[in-house]
Structure 1
Amino acid sequence: MTELTFELVDGQKAAVEVRSALNGGYAGRSQDDVAAHVAELAALGVPAPSTTPSLYPVAPYLVSQADTVPAQHGRTSGEAEWALVVTDDDVLLTVACDHTDRDLEVHGVAWSKQAGPDVVGRKAWRLADVADRIDDLTLTAWVGDGDTWTEIQRGTLAELLTPHYWLEVLRKRDLLAPGTVLLSGTIPMHEGVDQFAPAWRVELGDPATGDTIRCEYRVQLLPEPIG
Structure 2
Amino acid sequence: MFPLRFDVNGEVVEVPVTTLLNGGYAGRSQEDVAAHVAELAELGVPAPTRTPCLYPVAPYLAMQPDQVPVQHGRTSGEAEWALIVAGPEERDVLLTVACDHTDRQLEVHGVAWSKQAGPDVLGRKAWRLVDVADRLDELTLTAWAGGEVIQRGTLAELLAPQFWLDDLRERGLLQPGTVLLSGTIPMDAAVDQFADTWRVELGDPKTGDVLACEYQVRRMPEPVE
Q: TM-score range by the shorter chain?
A: over 0.9
1:4–1:18 contact (8 Å) kept in structure 2:
yes
2:5 aligned partner, one-letter code:
T
Query: What is the TM-score normalised by the length of structure 2?
Result: 0.95
Structure-2 residue corresponding to 1:14:
13
SS in 2 for 1:132: helix
1:12 offset after TM fit, Å? 1.0
Structure-1 residue corresponding to 2:58:
59
Query: What is the TM-score normalised by the length of structure 1?
Result: 0.95
1:40 offset after TM fit, Å? 5.3
1:164 offset after TM fit, Å? 0.2
Structure 2 gaps of 5+ residues are none
1:33 offset after TM fit, Å? 3.4
Change (3 A) 1:129 1:82: same
Alpha-carbon distance between aligned partners in 2 of 1:112 and 1:81, rounded to the nearest angstrom: 17
1:70 offset after TM fit, Å? 0.5
Structure-2 residue corresponding to 1:161:
159
Structure-2 residue corresponding to 1:97:
99
Structure-2 residue corresponding to 1:178:
176
Q: Equivalences for 1:42-81 in 2 at 5 Å? A: 42=41, 44-81=43-80
Alpha-carbon distance between aligned partners in 2 of 1:43 and 1:126, rounded to the nearest angstrom: 37
1:13 offset after TM fit, Å? 1.3
1:22–1:56 contact (8 Å) kept in structure 2:
yes
Percentage of pairs with the same residue? 73
Alpha-carbon distance between aligned partners in 1 of 2:212 and 2:40, rounded to the nearest angstrom: 28
1:184 aligned partner, one-letter code:
S
1:47 offset after TM fit, Å? 1.5
- Deviation string 1:105-162 (CA, Å, 9 cap, x unpaired) is 1100011111000000000000000011000000001122xxxx11111000000000
1:38 offset after TM fit, Å? 2.5
SS in 2 for 1:52: coil
Structure-2 residue corresponding to 1:219:
217
* Equivalences, count: 222
Alpha-carbon distance between aligned partners in 1 of 2:202 and 2:18, rounded to the nearest angstrom: 24
Give structure 1 regions of 4+ aligned residues with deviation exceeding 4 angstroms. Answer: none
C-alpha root-mean-square deviation of aligned residues, in Å? 1.2
